[in-house]
Amino acid sequence: MPPAPKDAFATIDPADLATVAGGRRSSTSSSRDTQDRMMDMLSDIESAIKDLGRNQNNGSDALSQLMPILALSMLNQPQQAPLPPVVCQGRGKKGW
């Protein structure tokens, strides 16, 4: 006969539990708890979207810092005369 499974969880004193702050409520099947869980998930999604927007607006990547400098340097280039078109006078071996 296999040995009895060892209890993996330690007992917590109720006085210690009274000092706990934060955390989440346990899930039950009542509609109010379902609504609370849904609101928690929506809040998590909202904060994730805000974080994404904040990261994109920071301009912390090198390309977003380089783009304005590149655009200004392209605008400050001296105007060059357009290059003349290349005209091929003869044909190659294959007739092109």
Quickly list DSSP for 3-19.
Answer: PPPPP-S----HHHHHT
Q: What is the pLDDT of residues 21-73, one digit of tens each?
A: 776 655 555 667 788 888 888 888 898 888 887 766 665 677 777 888 888 88
Is position 49 within any domain? yes
- Total domain count for the chain? 1
Residue 89 lies in a domain: no
On whether residue 67 sits in a domain, the answer given is yes
pTM, entire model: 0.31
Distance CA 78, CA 70 (A): 15
d(CA 11, CA 21): 19
Domain that holds residue 65: 28-71
At 10, the pLDDT band (50, 70, 90 cuts) reads confident
| 88 falls within a domain | no
Residue 48: inside a domain: yes
Whole-angstrom distance between the N-terminal and C-terminal Cα of the chain?
A: 89
Instruction: Please state whether 48 falls in left (phi above 0), alpha (psi between -120 and 50) or beta.
Output: alpha
